[in-house]
Amino acid sequence: MKYLYTVLGVVLFILLLGFALKNAQPVELNYYLGLAWRAPMSLLLFITFFCGALLGMVACITPLIRQRRRLLALQRELEILNSNAQ
Protein backbone atom coordinates (compact mmCIF):
# COMPACT_ATOMS: atom_id res chain seq x y z
CA MET A 1 0.00 0.00 0.00
CA LYS A 2 2.92 2.31 0.78
CA TYR A 3 4.24 1.84 -2.74
CA LEU A 4 0.86 2.64 -4.24
CA TYR A 5 0.75 5.96 -2.36
CA THR A 6 4.28 6.75 -3.50
CA VAL A 7 3.44 6.02 -7.13
CA LEU A 8 0.22 8.06 -6.93
CA GLY A 9 2.13 10.94 -5.33
CA VAL A 10 4.76 10.92 -8.09
CA VAL A 11 2.08 10.79 -10.81
CA LEU A 12 0.16 13.65 -9.18
CA PHE A 13 3.35 15.70 -8.87
CA ILE A 14 4.19 15.17 -12.55
CA LEU A 15 0.66 16.14 -13.61
CA LEU A 16 0.71 19.29 -11.49
CA LEU A 17 4.19 20.21 -12.69
CA GLY A 18 3.06 19.82 -16.30
CA PHE A 19 0.00 21.97 -15.57
CA ALA A 20 2.17 24.67 -14.03
CA LEU A 21 4.59 24.64 -16.97
CA LYS A 22 1.75 24.83 -19.53
CA ASN A 23 0.16 27.77 -17.66
CA ALA A 24 3.25 29.85 -16.91
CA GLN A 25 2.14 32.91 -18.88
CA PRO A 26 1.59 35.94 -16.67
CA VAL A 27 -1.95 37.15 -16.04
CA GLU A 28 -3.09 40.32 -14.36
CA LEU A 29 -5.36 40.20 -11.34
CA ASN A 30 -7.16 43.51 -10.84
CA TYR A 31 -8.21 44.72 -7.42
CA TYR A 32 -10.27 47.68 -6.33
CA LEU A 33 -8.84 51.22 -6.49
CA GLY A 34 -6.76 50.40 -9.54
CA LEU A 35 -4.45 47.91 -7.83
CA ALA A 36 -3.21 45.04 -9.98
CA TRP A 37 -0.94 42.04 -9.52
CA ARG A 38 0.81 40.15 -12.33
CA ALA A 39 1.72 36.53 -11.68
CA PRO A 40 1.72 33.20 -13.51
CA MET A 41 -1.75 31.70 -13.92
CA SER A 42 -0.76 28.46 -12.21
CA LEU A 43 0.40 30.41 -9.13
CA LEU A 44 -2.87 32.33 -8.94
CA LEU A 45 -4.86 29.11 -9.28
CA PHE A 46 -2.78 27.45 -6.56
CA ILE A 47 -3.26 30.41 -4.20
CA THR A 48 -7.00 30.40 -4.87
CA PHE A 49 -7.25 26.66 -4.21
CA PHE A 50 -5.16 26.96 -1.03
CA CYS A 51 -7.29 29.82 0.33
CA GLY A 52 -10.49 27.89 -0.39
CA ALA A 53 -9.16 24.77 1.35
CA LEU A 54 -8.03 26.85 4.32
CA LEU A 55 -11.43 28.53 4.64
CA GLY A 56 -13.12 25.13 4.44
CA MET A 57 -10.98 23.78 7.28
CA VAL A 58 -11.64 26.86 9.40
CA ALA A 59 -15.37 26.43 8.82
CA CYS A 60 -15.14 22.82 10.11
CA ILE A 61 -13.29 23.70 13.32
CA THR A 62 -16.28 25.05 15.27
CA PRO A 63 -18.49 21.96 14.83
CA LEU A 64 -15.54 19.69 15.64
CA ILE A 65 -14.82 21.54 18.89
CA ARG A 66 -18.50 21.43 19.81
CA GLN A 67 -18.66 17.67 19.13
CA ARG A 68 -15.51 17.01 21.17
CA ARG A 69 -16.89 18.92 24.15
CA ARG A 70 -20.17 17.03 23.92
CA LEU A 71 -18.32 13.70 23.70
CA LEU A 72 -16.24 14.51 26.78
CA ALA A 73 -19.37 15.51 28.71
CA LEU A 74 -21.10 12.25 27.73
CA GLN A 75 -18.04 10.22 28.72
CA ARG A 76 -17.96 11.91 32.13
CA GLU A 77 -21.69 11.24 32.55
CA LEU A 78 -21.19 7.59 31.60
CA GLU A 79 -18.36 7.22 34.14
CA ILE A 80 -20.59 8.72 36.84
CA LEU A 81 -23.45 6.37 35.94
CA ASN A 82 -21.13 3.37 35.94
CA SER A 83 -19.66 4.29 39.32
CA ASN A 84 -23.16 4.78 40.81
CA ALA A 85 -24.37 1.44 39.43
CA GLN A 86 -21.61 -0.49 41.19
Residue 78 confidence (pLDDT):
93
CA distance linking residue 35 with residue 22, whole number of Å: 27
pLDDT, tens only, 7-62: 999 999 999 888 888 888 898 988 888 899 899 888 888 899 999 999 999 999 99
How do the domains of the chain map onto residue ranges?
Answer: 2-85
Residue 45 confidence (pLDDT):
86
Residue 17 confidence (pLDDT):
87
pTM of the entire predicted model: 0.61
CA distance linking residue 71 with residue 79, whole number of Å: 12
72 residue type, one letter = L
Residue 20 confidence (pLDDT):
84
